[in-house]
Structure 1
Amino acid sequence: MRAKSPQEAYELLCSKRGSRIVGGGGWMRLSTRPVGTVIDLTDCGLDAIDEVSDDPVFGRALRIGAYVTLGTFERDGRVADATDGAASCAVRDIVGVQFRNLVTVGGSVCGRFGFSDVCLLLLALGADLEFVGGGRISIEAFLLDTAPCRDVLTHVIVPACPVRASYQAVRRQATDFPLINACAARTERGWRVAVGARPGRPRLVAGASAGGGIEAKPATPSISFDPTPEEVAAACSAAEGLVYSNNMLASGAYRREVAPVLVRRAIEAACGAASLQGAAAAAADRPEMGEGAR
């Protein structure tokens, strides 16, 4: 069914048992859940990216419609500026151009897939999500929630403040799923560093420093605006302490070994700290495909 508005889509979703919102449809076959009614949001006007200067949380922000394709997300200059080019780096290896011109940002987010490069990027950027039904929540809270989503995502809201960001990943080959990935973002609000493809959902491993405007979880080390080697080492240690498991792409042991290396690289690239102590060690620790990844 093609809904005429997000509100109509929400009412259909609530009233029809087994109904489901369709994004680009690229990953629907990964689910074994039976679908009674597919709800299409094509006519709901959610395929635009708008700049706003009066967002109640971020001030300047990008409001990215849920039906914006990953191809548009990858190529849009405003998204590139708001992510320091990390958006293009994060999605450019997702299958291929035709696929990225079909699948949507909203579908990538609502799938909450562990391998999602998009969720990882948005988590590091500290994005918010707007739902009909659930209101506005942080993407961190959404990824931590284990209940099925029964709301309609309308927009992803990304801060448009100056940012330095870096996305890092290890893949067997281009267009393959990441074996492990990491993203670090530094703004005037502070730092956010996340690890994904564990193969579980992305998780923050470091937050902003005290007083930086974003509260870090007690379990996550804080990083000052100009990180010290000790702070970087603490973030790497936190990454190593996440839960990792095996799948057909790589072992949990391999992921645990590589994740801290990617976190260090992401932080150093985001702050441009070629002189940061430990950079040489990170280069020497460049992960190679070994037995654990087979």
Structure 2
Amino acid sequence: MPVTVKTFANFGEAASALSSDRSARYLGGGTLVMRALNEGDISISTVVRATDQALARIDVASSRVTIGAGVTFARILAERELAFLHAPARSIGGPAVRNMGTVGGNLFAPNPYGDFTVALLALDATVSVQGGLGARDMPIEEFLQSRERQSGALVLTVSCQRPASPDAFRYRKIARIKPKGGSVITLAAHLPVSGGRISGARIALGSMAATQVRARAAERALEGRSLDDSAINAAAAVAAEGVSPADNALGSAWYRREIVGVHLRRLLSGLE
């Protein structure tokens, strides 16, 4: 089946073309769309591209960063001011994938991928999308819950909190093939501290549900407490509450439930 490629200089025109054609898919780095085409996905008949440099912009403020959807993981790794995102970016594939894969594309990556999105979820990101009804900002949780309905919308930017200190954000990916393997589980934690106690804890998990999810029971176990052994053990004990992992070649649902608490304890304790 022939595939039509449409390239636009303006992201607004690309968004219009995407929203008006149900068989169209946006091509950013190509790590998802080209794989689908190469595997014979006949639901895609049009590929939409945009050369608008606004999609490759990075804006860093004192407390928040805004990253264009077309920014690659290699670019993230080259930016000193984005050092807190280097670990999740480095965990995406090998150099070839990081040179092509984009922040916006990772939002659509199915399990066992989408590791960078786990970090964004822990950092309370906002996703800016443009579709047939115009542009709007969505909390990342809302975006992920409706991700299957977002195929006709173009992601423009992702913005997230900038952690107040290096210790405030932590990330860990468990994979059988490092660094480029699919995730057995992925964990990220943002732990802001006020007056020596955690205030506004957010813990995100990958490969533990149909999409990336928050470990809300673990968050509640940490809230208002110092990050000591007692709090860490309490969070680890409830890490698997509310999750629904699936069986796949990398691990069973049972195995994932068994190890998520172990790795959350290591993450919160600062252990490698």
Name the TM tier (shorter chain): 0.7 to 0.9
Deviation of the 1:254 alpha carbon: 0.9
Whether 2:206 is the aligned partner of 1:204: answer: no
Q: Corresponding residue for 1:6?
A: 11
Q: Corresponding residue for 2:161?
A: 159
Which is worse superposed, 28-37 or 99-108? Answer: 28-37
Deviation of the 1:233 alpha carbon: 3.5
Asked whether the 8 Å contact 1:24–1:104 carries over to 2, the reply is yes
Deviations 1:86-109 (A, max 9, x none): x22223232211220111111111
Asked whether the 8 Å contact 2:93–2:181 carries over to 1, the reply is yes
Q: For residues 1-294 of structure 1, what are the structure 2 equivalents within 5 Å?
A: 1-28=6-33, 29-30=35-36, 32=41, 34-52=43-61, 60-80=63-83, 83=84, 87-111=85-109, 113-133=111-131, 135-145=136-146, 147-149=148-150, 150-163=152-165, 164-174=168-178, 175-188=180-193, 190-198=200-208, 200-206=210-216, 221=221, 223-224=223-224, 226-227=226-227, 229-241=229-241, 242-269=243-270
Asked whether the 8 Å contact 1:193–1:204 carries over to 2, the reply is yes
Q: Distance in 2 between matches of 1:185 and 1:254?
A: 25
Q: Corresponding residue for 1:56?
A: none
What is the TM-score of this pair, normalised by structure 1? 0.76
Q: Is the partner of 1:155 in helix, strand or coil?
A: strand
Q: Distance in 2 between matches of 1:267 and 1:19?
A: 42
Deviation of the 1:118 alpha carbon: 0.6
State the one-letter code of the partner of 1:62.
V
Deviation of the 1:245 alpha carbon: 1.8
Q: Is the partner of 1:45 in helix, strand or coil?
A: helix
Q: Distance in 1 between matches of 2:269 and 2:240?
A: 17
Q: Distance in 2 between matches of 1:123 and 1:100?
A: 20
Q: Distance in 2 between matches of 1:147 and 1:254?
A: 27
Asked whether the 8 Å contact 2:163–2:190 carries over to 1, the reply is no
Deviation of the 1:227 alpha carbon: 3.2
- State the number of aligned residues: 250
Deviations 1:156-186 (A, max 9, x none): 1021241421111221121211211211112
Q: Corresponding residue for 1:213?
A: none
State the one-letter code of the partner of 2:8.
A
Closer, same or farther: CA 207–65 of 1 in aligned 2, 3 Å: farther
Q: Is the partner of 2:149 in helix, strand or coil?
A: coil
Closer, same or farther: CA 207–124 of 1 in aligned 2, 3 Å: farther
Unpaired runs of 5+ in structure 2? 1-5, 194-198
Which is worse superposed, 187-196 or 17-26? Answer: 187-196
Asked whether the 8 Å contact 1:116–1:196 carries over to 2, the reply is yes
Asked whether the 8 Å contact 1:112–1:119 carries over to 2, the reply is no
Closer, same or farther: CA 33–192 of 1 in aligned 2, 3 Å: farther
Asked whether the 8 Å contact 2:71–2:102 carries over to 1, the reply is yes
Deviation of the 1:43 alpha carbon: 2.7
Q: Distance in 2 between matches of 1:146 and 1:97?
A: 27
Asked whether the 8 Å contact 1:17–1:36 carries over to 2, the reply is no
Which is worse superposed, 90-99 or 17-26? Answer: 90-99
Unpaired runs of 5+ in structure 1? 54-59, 209-215, 270-282, 287-294
Q: Distance in 1 between matches of 2:145 and 2:258?
A: 24
User: Identity of aligned pairs, percent?
Assistant: 27
State the one-letter code of the partner of 1:8.
E
Deviation of the 1:221 alpha carbon: 4.5
Displacement over 6 Å in runs of 4+: none
Deviations 1:197-220 (A, max 9, x none): 226322111389xxxxxxx7xxx5
Q: Is the partner of 1:64 in helix, strand or coil?
A: strand
Closer, same or farther: CA 157–96 of 1 in aligned 2, 3 Å: same
Which is worse superposed, 99-108 or 125-134? Answer: 125-134
Compute the RMSD of aligned alpha carbons: 2.5
